[in-house]
């Protein structure tokens, strides 16, 4: 059976787009004014700047009191009582998390207010201006010049708001109430195995567009042809219908213009003779230019197909083995949340040194720099949303939160050839409610982007009978294209030698990708192969695990846990963990452990 996912898009179907059909999604390639840098902050654990002493939101008042922080009020005279002052408060850098910038905020979970002052001169009197945030963890209430412009929930996805009518040429003040408290109904929920970095963790930009603008686009190989490109351009603003839309791809000698329909969308089929497909060995990208009226967007896009056929994964029609590693979004250069292109280049460079052609970006959408760098460096990507462990499966608001994050990830990254898998979840316990939740997400993903494979870290179980035989019994296995699961035999279950006793019996005729395995080791701590936390223990577990997993007939890839040690408050063993998950093949200060060489040698043979 062949499951082929060439590139098909339905992003203009009514009722599909979230949250608003006028949102500006094509942001990264555009000229912008950065609001990165120093922001004034007020730590507000009791949320005094948001609620009255009766716990009523100030913003609900017809005339919010000047004590509301978002009004940025100043004393009118020497007797006036104002109990805050952004301009004399502390400074945090944006993008960045507050935990790693201020020792007092290392474990802090709650509200911090951010304020940035700026001037802005519009380039055209009828132009529109949006304020864009790459990510804010977890909930952001956004105010400009004392007026609420919107709220966003979710710590790893981009969002923007139009601010045209509130913008002034001089003395604007942008204020955010940022709250990173963990929530039972949140996505992720209360319990995770990574650090809850709070703050404005990715870029902030002002983006100006003409009245009619290119809202989004999707450029890929046409599903019914290998020598044609399908391009769809969605316009935003008033009057997009009837607008001339042009697509240029100079490297393929393509230039074509057509008129947008009543829904503001233009769809192209473009001949692509002599097209070179994107591969990890040769990550060919083509410059593209999109023009609609006064608006122009430029990008670099690769073309490839990804599919499954029986137990094989096919890249451009040829079987491929995914030599991978998992990565968390932490910076090896400055500590804390990874924020820039240099972080992405360092992490992916280490993965390439390991021999990887693939990475699993766990457990949430990573910075857009990672995806674009993966495009350039030739690294396939598993993209994931933080549906993790024990989500509130029965809560419809929780589902809508998860779907919104999935939508934002796909809409941002579906032009990246590097992305080959959308993952719905990680290690979620089986139940009827969970299965309904996951199947809704999978259907949503296929509706937004039918060009990639669907997976998740599935549940597994033992087969009844003699011996230690494992299988995938998760009913969600019916819905995915690639069977993936995490296993920690030799670490959480017995010692490494147990790997010799376990076999796998997987009945589904689909490829298998091991999404996690591993063991903790403190870099520089040595002992024999049975000494927990030693580099020798970790290396021996890798040897025995790789031998065990290689016996699975359907095995088509691996992403061991994890490239670099990362912070986690769950990991408290003094002298060994000290707040770090030590399963990395590289320490937090960049030193490679013995297991790095073990996996590197294995991949060299693949």
At 168-226, the pLDDT tens digits run 999 999 999 999 999 999 999 999 999 999 999 999 999 999 999 999 999 999 877 77
Q: What is the mean pLDDT of residues 125-149?
A: 97
User: Dihedral sign, CA of 529, 530, 531, 532?
Assistant: positive
Report pLDDT digits (tens) over 516-546: 999 999 999 999 999 999 999 999 999 999 9
Contact 242/170 with Cβ under 8 angstroms? no
Residues 6+ apart with CB under 8 A from 256: 246, 247, 268, 270
Position of tokens 């997976």?
A: 455
Rounded distance between C-alpha atoms, residue 54 and residue 52, angstroms: 5
Q: Determine phi and psi for 583, rounding to 5 degrees.
A: -85, 5
Return the structure tokens found at 12. 């203009």
**pLDDT(569) > 80:** yes
User: What span, in angstroms and rounded, lies between the C-alpha atoms of 337 and 529?
Assistant: 33
CATH number of 320-604: 3.20.20.80
3-state secondary structure of 244: strand
Which residue, 134, 517, 562, is CA-closest to 328? 562
**Does pLDDT of 4 surpass 70?**
no
CB 9 within 8 Å of CB 414: yes
pLDDT value at residue 3: 33
Average confidence (pLDDT) over 383-408:
97
6 in Cβ contact with 451 (< 8 Å): yes
N residues, the chain? 606
Q: Are strands 512-516 and 483-486 parallel, antiparallel or unpaired?
A: parallel
113-130 residues labelled b (16+ CB within 10 A) or e (exposed): bbbbbeeeeeeeeeebbb
What is the DSSP code (8-state) at residue 493?
B
Beta strands in 387-443 (DSSP E): 419-426
Q: Which residues have C-beta within 8 Å of that of residue 76, sequence separation ≥ 6? A: none
368-377 vs 396-413: helix axis angle to the nearest 10? 40
What pLDDT is stored for residue 331 in this prediction?
A: 94
- Structurally, at CATH architecture level, domain 37-202 sits in Sandwich (2.60)
Q: Confirm if 221 and 228 have CB atoms less than 8 A apart.
A: yes
Residue 9 has pLDDT above 70, yes or no: no
Average pLDDT over residues 330-350: 95
End-to-end distance of the chain based on CA atoms, in angstroms? 25
Average pLDDT in the 267-296 region?
95
Q: Where are the beta strands (DSSP E) in 20-138?
A: 33-34, 37-43, 90-94, 111-118, 128-133, 136-137
Q: Apex CA 408: angle with CA 402 and CA 303, to 5°?
A: 125
Q: Domain segments of the chain: what residues?
A: 2-7+211-306, 37-202, 320-604
Q: Is 480 strand, coil or helix? A: coil
Q: How confident is the model at residue 10 (pLDDT cuts 50, 70, 90)?
A: very low
Q: Distance (Å, rounded) from C-alpha 451 to C-alpha 315?
A: 12
335 backbone φψ class: left, alpha, beta (φ>0; ψ -120 to 50): left
Question: What is the architecture, at CATH level 2, of domain 2-7+211-306?
Answer: Sandwich (2.60)
Q: Which residue in 237, 207, 233, 210 sits closest to 293, CA to CA? A: 210
**What is the Cα 4 distance to its own chain's centre?**
24
Contact 248, 233 (CB under 8 A): no
Q: Dihedral sign, CA of 121, 124, 125, 130?
A: negative
Positive or negative: CA dihedral 36, 157, 411, 425: positive
């Amino acid at each position: 059976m062949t499951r082929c996912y060439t590139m098909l898009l339905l992003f203009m179907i009514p009722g599909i787009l979230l949250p608003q059909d006028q949102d500006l999604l094509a942001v990264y390639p555009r000229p912008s004014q950065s609001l990165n840098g120093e922001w004034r902050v007020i730590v507000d654990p009791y949320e005094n700047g948001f609620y009255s002493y009766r716990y009523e939101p100030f913003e609900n008042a017809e005339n919010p009191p000047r004590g509301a922080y978002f009004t940025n009020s100043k004393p009118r005279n020497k007797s006036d009582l104002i109990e805050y002052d952004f301009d004399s408060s502390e400074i945090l850098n944006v993008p960045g998390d507050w935990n790693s910038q201020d020792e007092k905020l290392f474990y802090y979970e709650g509200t911090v207010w951010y304020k940035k002052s700026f001037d802005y001169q519009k380039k055209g009197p009828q132009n529109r201006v949006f304020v864009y945030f790459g990510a804010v963890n977890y909930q952001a209430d956004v105010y400009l010049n004392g007026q609420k412009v919107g709220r966003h929930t979710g710590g790893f996805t981009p969002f923007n708001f139009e601010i045209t009518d509130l913008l002034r040429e001089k003395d604007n003040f942008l204020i955010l109430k940022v709250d990173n408290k963990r929530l039972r109904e949140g996505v992720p929920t209360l319990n995770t195995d990574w650090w809850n970095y709070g703050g404005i963790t990715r870029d902030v930009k002002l983006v100006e567009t003409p009245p009619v603008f290119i809202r989004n686009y999707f450029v890929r190989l046409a599903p019914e042809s290998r020598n044609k490109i399908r391009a769809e351009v969605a316009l935003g603003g008033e009057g997009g219908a009837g607008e001339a839309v042009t697509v240029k791809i100079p490297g393929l000698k393509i230039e074509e213009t057509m008129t947008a329909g009543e829904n503001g969308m233009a769809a192209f089929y473009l001949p692509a003779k002599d097209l070179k497909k994107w591969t990890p060995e040769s990550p060919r990208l083509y410059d593209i230019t999109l023009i609609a009226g006064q608006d122009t967007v430029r990008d670099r896009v690769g073309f490839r197909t990804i599919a499954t056929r029986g137990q094989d994964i096919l890249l451009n029609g040829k079987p491929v083995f995914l030599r991978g590693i998992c990565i968390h979004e932490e910076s090896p250069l400055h500590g804390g949340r990874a924020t820039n292109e240099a972080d992405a280049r360092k992490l992916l460079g280490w993965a390439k040194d390991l021999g990887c052609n693939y990475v699993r970006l766990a457990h949430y959408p990573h910075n857009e720099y990672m995806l674009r760098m993966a495009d350039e460096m030739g690294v396939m990507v598993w993209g994931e949303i933080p549906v993790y462990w024990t989500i509130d499966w029965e809560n419809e608001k929780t589902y809508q939160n998860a779907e919104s994050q999935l939508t934002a990830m796909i809409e941002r990254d579906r032009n990246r050839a590097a992305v080959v898998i959308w993952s719905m979840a990680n290690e979620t316990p089986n139940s009827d409610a969970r299965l309904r939740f996951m199947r809704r997400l999978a259907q949503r993903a296929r509706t937004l982007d039918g060009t990639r494979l669907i997976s998740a870290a599935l549940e597994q179980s033992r087969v009844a009978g003699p011996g230690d035989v494992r299988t995938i019994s998760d009913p969600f296995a019916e819905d995915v294209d690639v069977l993936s699961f995490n296993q920690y035999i030799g670490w959480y279950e017995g010692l490494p030698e147990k790997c010799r006793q376990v076999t796998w019996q997987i009945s589904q005729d689909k490829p298998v990708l091991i999404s996690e395995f591993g063991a903790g080791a403190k870099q520089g701590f040595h002992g024999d192969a049975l000494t927990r936390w030693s580099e020798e223990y970790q290396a021996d577990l890798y040897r025995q695990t790789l031998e065990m997993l290689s016996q699975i007939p359907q095995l088509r890839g691996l992403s061991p846990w994890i490239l670099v040690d990362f912070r986690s408050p769950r990991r408290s063993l003094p002298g060994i963990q000290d707040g770090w998950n030590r399963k990395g093949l590289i320490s937090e200060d960049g030193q490679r452990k013995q297991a790095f060489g073990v996996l590197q040698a294995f991949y060299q043979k693949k």
